[in-house]
Amino acid sequence: AQSVTQLGSHVSVSEGALVLLRCNYSSSVPPYLFWYVQYPNQGLQLLLKYTTGATLVKGINGFEAEFKKSETSFHLTKPSAHMSDAAEYFCAVSDFTGNQFYFGTGTSLTVIP
Amino acid sequence: GAVVSQHPSRVICKSGTSVKIECRSLDFQATTMFWYRQFPKQSLMLMATSNEGSKATYEQGVEKDKFLINHASLTLSTLTVTSAHPEDSSFYICSARDLVASGGTIAKNIQYFGAGTRLSVL
């Protein structure tokens, strides 16, 4: 089974600062990789995904992530944090069938004014 | 594209009653639907996987008689929490997957998530 590790259950950044949320996975086969955002009492919203092709993936709201196979990582970044970015972020991995989704434990992002 | 609608978004019920949650794929045919449960401040836990026209496959530790899943059509799956108790209170999220690329922006083998249902059992 695959596993997903999100380093840091809580991350705080100042408004305008760089956002970096870390995600590492364990898989011997290149997986599909996802980042989701969840606002309080809401469902998951897909930020971005990597399946094949270019390893730098751009998503919504100015977020992007880079798939680094050698590091088995898929870290999420945003150059400048906004207050509206405060939410819970989940990294997820699936195999190519989409049958199994493995979620990380989530990272709560706080943006300080 | 790839819209999954989940209804209701919030439900409050008395202990001992049953609650039905619907999950619909609005613009694609979902050959497989998934049901997850999320406890406060925790990640999503897969409860079961359902394929259209067949019985759901439940994850270990999930009571199939408590959580009834029906996937009668390619666009609709339902989760019924039977004889609900306060410990069943949770956030339930469904997702849907299309095995065949439908063109446009709907990618095959990707799970698309509903907005979730907050269940509170009094």
Query: Which candidate, B6, B7, B11, places its Cα nearest to that of B119?
Result: B11
Give the per-residue pLDDT at B105: 53
What share of chain A in percent tops pLDDT 90?
65
Closest-CA residue of A relative to B118 is A41
Please write the tens of the pLDDT for every residue from A6-37. 998 999 999 999 999 999 998 766 678 999 99
Give the per-residue pLDDT at A1: 65
- Predicted confidence pLDDT, tens digits, chain B (122 residues): 678 999 999 999 999 999 999 999 998 888 889 999 988 878 889 999 998 888 899 999 999 999 999 988 889 999 999 999 999 999 999 999 876 655 555 566 678 889 899 999 99
CB contact under 8 A, B113 and A99: no
Q: Which of B42, B110, B115 sits opposite A43 (nearest CB)?
A: B115
Closest-CA residue of A relative to B7 is A43
Among the residues of A1-113, which ranges form H helices? Answer: none
CB contact under 8 A, A96 and B108: no
Distances from the Cα of B99 to the Cαs of A97, A103, B77, B78, in angstroms? Answer: 8, 21, 16, 20
Collect all residues of chain B within an 8 Å Cβ-Cβ radius of residue A96.
109
Size of interface A-B (CB pairs under 8 A): 53
| Closest Cα in chain B, distance from residue A42 (Å) | 6
Q: State which residues of chain A have pLDDT below 70.
A: 1, 28-30
SS3 assignment, position B51: strand
Q: Which of A32, A43, A106 sits opposite B116 (nearest CB)?
A: A43
Q: Contacts for A17-20 with beta carbons within 8 Å, 24 or more apart?
A: A17/A80, A17/A81, A18/A77, A18/A78, A18/A79, A18/A80, A18/A81, A19/A63, A19/A76, A19/A77, A19/A78, A19/A81, A19/A85, A19/A109, A20/A75, A20/A76, A20/A77
